[in-house]
Amino acid sequence: MEGRVLVIDDEPMVRETLGQVLSDEGYVVDLAVDGESALDRVRAERPDAILLDLMMPGMNGRQFLQALRHDPACAAIPVLIMTAVHGLEVNLATLGASEVVEKPFNVDELLNKVALAVYRSRGENAITPPLPAPQPPPPPLLPDADRGVVLIIERDRGRMQQLDLQLSKRGYTVVSMTRALVQLSRLARALRPRAILLDLSSDGAVDVVRELRAEKELAEIPLLVFARDGSALSHAGVAALAPAADADLVSFVENLR
């Protein structure tokens, strides 16, 4: 398979392993440890597809995507987000990505997604008119008024989708999951969300609340913990919390300064 793939990950083992797997498949592979060095590589040699770790120190994955999508020469490159947070759901169009690939990797699934991304990328490049004419800049994949990330942990997928829809319409980038996993704090450090909405009845929610509030770096992020079932509140022993409707949750985010 012909094609150039850029792998961006701060973990050396992941980076080198992916580089070997993709090289064995016939790709030309470039490696980068963070968003800043990745931008330099993209501008030096345009890849056909990018595998991007969302959670990196320095320029993280979301910041890299913002910079990439605001460069007209790179705006159409397919980007596959890699994450260890299972069950993560991202509004890919709003974030500026093409696919999500979960760690640990299913190699066949990974290669299929990369092959499709490269095929589409090279196909678009192949139909470029031989006589170039002035073209309008591509529409931005991120909203003009990007109001920041909102992280949602909601056990009920239907309610989660409703919240996603309402907040996305208001210009927020929504990242959501159905369980509060230990990786949540790392995800919060990378994304720096404007707010976190957490269903207390989600698995692991109480432990995650403690962890978020114990870290000085994360303690300032507004956190709204809610419950659909009042018994979950009494069981957790948190008297200050009350059941919240979707409108209450959206209002909480909208009223943040």
Could you list the residue range(s) of the whole structural domain that residue 172 is in?
A: 149-254
Q: What is the pTM of this model?
A: 0.61
Confidence of residue 22 (pLDDT cuts 50, 70, 90): very high
CATH of the domain at 17: 3.40.50.2300
Read off the pLDDT of each residue in 27-33 and give the average, rounded to a whole number.
93
16 and 62 housed in the same domain: yes
Give the other-Cβ count within 10 Å of 110's Cβ.
21
* DSSP letter, residue 105: P
Considering its fold, how many domains does the chain have in total? 2
Which residue blocks in the chain are alpha helix, DSSP H?
A: 12-24, 35-44, 61-69, 92-95, 107-126, 157-169, 184-191, 205-214, 216-219, 230-236, 246-254
Classify residue 9: in a domain, yes or no: yes
- Which string of b and e fits 165-186 if b means at least 16 CB within 10 Å? ebbbeeebbbbbbbbbbebbbe
104 and 180 housed in the same domain: no
pLDDT per residue as tens digits for the range 41-88: 999 999 999 999 888 878 888 888 888 888 888 888 999 888 776 666
CA nearest to 200, candidates 170, 232, 178:
232
Higher pLDDT, 182 or 58: 58
77 and 46 housed in the same domain: yes
Read off the pLDDT of each residue in 190-198 and give the average, rounded to a whole number.
83
Bond preceding residue 104 cis, omega within 30 of 0: yes
Query: For strand 173-177 and strand 149-153, is the pairing parallel, antiparallel, or unpaired?
Result: parallel
Classify residue 139: in a domain, yes or no: no
pLDDT per residue as tens digits for the range 216-238: 878 888 888 887 655 444 444 44
Average confidence score pLDDT of the chain = 77
Classify residue 140: in a domain, yes or no: no
Classify residue 143: in a domain, yes or no: no
Confidence of residue 199 (pLDDT cuts 50, 70, 90): confident
Q: Please, what sign has the CA dihedral across residues 37, 193, 81, 141?
A: negative
